[in-house]
Amino acid sequence: MIEEGQPAPDFALTSDAGERVRLSELRGKPVVLYFYPKDDTPGCTTQACGIRDAYGEFERAGAVVLGVSPDDERSHVKFKEKYGLPFTLLADPEHTVADLYGVWGEKKYMGRTYMGVRRSTFVVGADGTLVKVMHDVKPATHADDVLAALAG
């Protein structure tokens, strides 16, 4: 289990723009790395639109926002365009990065058990260390909770 104060595990994933994004190449800026289960579902849309609506505050904090889900790039493009999301979405279809961060696993929903992403956010400091680890975040308050973590 990764914890606050540890170096953030490095990775490279393909973005909604078809580019490879490597976490270590973003050093020098804080990074908000948020994992969500699926594009264009109610909770994930609420979460993404909350960040969109507060995006100016994320920019003022100097933060790079990266949303990660198991969806592919094509799904991300549709989701991003539909809701006017101003930040990068990363495709993790093999859930390798979700595994690396410990957020892939068994979930229960309406009496059924399945494998999926646990809604979690990692705030990575400009030096590459984890400054805040947030599990089971609430979509409606996510943006404010992350902004509070960025403020220190």
Active site residues: 44
DSSP state of 25: G
Q: Which residues pair with 65 in a beta bridge?
A: 32
Element (H, E) at 13: strand 12-15
CB 105 within 8 A of CB 47: no
CA 80 to chain centre: 14
Strand pairing report for 31-35 and 120-124: antiparallel
